[in-house]
A = this chain, B = another copy of it.
Amino acid sequence: MRFLRLRWLPVLFVPGILLISSHALAADLTLDEVVRGLDTLWVLIAAFLVFFMQAGFGMVEAGFIRAKNTVNILMKNFIDYGVASIMFFIMGYAFMFGNGSGFIGTEGFGLSNAPNPSGVSLYAFFLFQAAFCGAAATIVAGAMSERMKFRSYLMYTVFISAVVYPIVGHWVWSGAGWLSSMGFADFAGSTVVHATGGFAALAGVLFLGPRIGKFGPDGSPRAVPGHSLPLAALGVFILWFGWFGFNPGSALAVSNGEKIALIATNTNLAAAAGAISAMITVWIKYGKPDLSMTMNGALAGLVAITAPCAFVMPGEAIVIGLIAGIIVVYGVLFLDYVRIDDPVGAIPVHGFNGVWGTLAVGLFGHRSLGLAHEGLFHGGGLTQLGIQALGVAACTLFVFVSMSAVFYFIHSTFGLRVSRDEELRGLDIDEHGMEAYSGFQVFTTQ
């Protein structure tokens, strides 16, 4: 157990000296320490917000599925974050930020002697990163919902949070990864978190197959409406709120505030634009403004701005968000068309828009904002765009292949999917022995 060298002792339980010690405190700090304290505080607050996104994911996913599987998805939500927290502590952090090769880190297990690439307290940096890891893990729950065994989900969670996510993270964010060496830029994780989650989900649903009744005998898609749009709406608001930690927090420092303010503004504008463009797209195509698509549009805008949030200006953020909203609508339709069943739209939102956001860096990014090369639309040619394309391709491919292996392994040992009867009756009763809405009359005919 290492000791932290703290500059001050906890004062609350030391009677008498209380007033003196705490007042003396300030004087003892240098400007440097204050800056470090401020930056640490900011990263912590951002981590809290990113943690809170877990509630957002839970509510969105629960709201978009049927009542009979709600306990199951909430359980997955709690436990994937729990497992991710612990696994990332034990080994994920070491694989991601430890010194090692360009492929994987190999130092800092259990945070002991763990390198700290940030300017803030190691623990704050860890907590922030652990919350990211939990987010990547939980994205998959929604796509595989309503039919996946809880036990197998637990196993999946261990793999993604302990190994797969940290490896991708190492490539891009460790400072020693092969992708970052090339100048690949993913400011807050369109690729590292969202495309990783989205493509892991894609691998998963391909193994799992669609829910009973999602596609008619002729293969035509059928709607399986979510059981509580208010819950889903709340979830989207919570996610949007949490994203203000996710993106600006990734700056890892407050500095004079300019950068984090720009990032926050970009984040908000892209989300707003995504919601609006998804609404318009679906309105034009189907004659009615669809709430569930509008909400997916907002999330799509948020995912898309995640990589470029620090490298573009607000007007560009709006454009990125507008395109994201269109992508998500057509993405949902495309999955229906190819008969892939993703109950909550995790793949279009996080997968497709994770890719879009990463590429957008190469299109709209500014060197003046810290990018290696000027983006295509600012005369920088295809260099940055090429790097971005390569990076996102490499990451999604790696995730898809490795997660396919994981799912194949689970599939052939414990099985991924519950029985037909369990699926029809709902996972809550068979997997958890309880109902989400005891006492309510809920139609379980579909």
- Chain B residues near A219 (CB, 8 Å)? none
Top 10 nearest A-B pairs (CB, nearest first) are: A40-B257, A55-B237, A22-B119, A123-B261, A121-B261, A225-B438, A124-B261, A85-B272, A26-B35, A82-B272
Also in contact, A289 and B150, with CB within 8 A (given A260-B40, A260-B44): yes
Tally of chain A residues near chain B (CB < 8 A):
166
Which residues on B sit within 8 Å (CB–CB) of A257?
36-41, 44, 120-121, 124
How far, in whole Å, are A186 and B10 apart by their CA atoms in the complex?
A: 11
Near B by CB (< 8 A), chain A positions 223-249 give: 225-231, 233-234, 236-238, 240-241, 244, 248
Convert A283-309 into 0s and 1s, putting 1 for each residue whose CB lies closer than 8 angstroms to a CB of B: 000111111101100100000000000
Q: Is the CB of B74 within 8 A of A233?
A: yes
Asked if A130 meets B75 with Cβ closer than 8 Å, knowing A177-B15, A433-B290, the reply is no
The answer to whether B48 and A49 have CB atoms under 8 Å apart is yes
Q: Bits for A6-36, please: 1 = Cβ < 8 Å to B, else 0.
A: 1111111111101100110111010111111
* Residue A431 is within 8 A (CB to CB) of chain B in the complex: yes
A298-339 contacts to B, CB under 8 A, are 298, 310-311, 313-316, 318
A100 at the interface (CB under 8 A from B): no
| A58 / chain B contacts, CB cutoff of 8 Å | 233-234, 237
A312 to chain B minimum Cβ distance, whole angstroms, is 9
Which residues of chain B come closer than 8 Å to A180, judged between CB atoms?
A: 12-15
Tell me whether A275 is interfacial, beta carbon within 8 Å: yes
Stretch of A168-176, A204-212, A396-404, A414-422 that contacts chain B: A168-176
Task: Indicate if the CB atoms of A1 and B241 lie closer than 8 Å.
Answer: no
The segment from A139-147, A193-201, A263-271, A345-353 that touches chain B is A263-271
A-B contact pairs, 25 of them (CB 8 A): A1-B315, A1-B316, A1-B366, A4-B368, A6-B370, A13-B180, A13-B187, A29-B35, A34-B256, A38-B257, A44-B244, A47-B244, A48-B244, A48-B264, A51-B240, A52-B237, A85-B272, A86-B318, A121-B256, A227-B437, A228-B437, A230-B436, A230-B437, A288-B433, A441-B441
A181 to B79, CA, bound (A): 41
How long is the Cα–Cα vector from A127 to B226 in the complex, in angstroms? 33
Q: Are B315 and A110 in contact (CB under 8 A)?
A: yes
Which residues from B are CB-within-8-Å of A123? 258, 261-262, 264-265, 314
Q: Which residues of B contact A291 (CB under 8 A)?
A: 71, 74-75, 78, 432, 434
Complex Cα gap A433–B292 (Å): 11
Q: Are A51 and B241 in contact (CB under 8 A)?
A: yes
B74 touches A254 (CB 8 A): no
A151 (CB) vs chain B CBs: closest residue? B289
Q: Which residues in B have their C-beta under 8 angstroms from that of A190?
A: none
Q: A42 on the interface (CB 8 Å rule)?
A: yes
A122 within 8 A of B: yes
Contact B38 A37 (CB under 8 A): yes
Q: Is the Cβ of A19 less than 8 Å from the Cβ of B370? A: no
For residue A260, which residue of chain B has the nearest CB?
B44
* A163 interface hit (Cβ, 8 Å): no
Contacts of A83 in B (CB 8 A): 272, 276
How far apart sit A315 and B123, CA to CA, in the bound complex (Å)?
12
Contact present for B432 and A117 (CB under 8 Å): no
A6-B378 Cα distance, complex, nearest whole Å: 19
CB distance A55 to B229 under 8 Å?
no
Interface string of A72-104 (1 = CB under 8 A from B): 001101110111011001000000000000000
How long is the Cα–Cα vector from A446 to B81 in the complex, in angstroms? Answer: 34
Question: Which residues of B lie under 8 Å from residue A4 when comparing CB positions?
Answer: 258-259, 262, 368-369
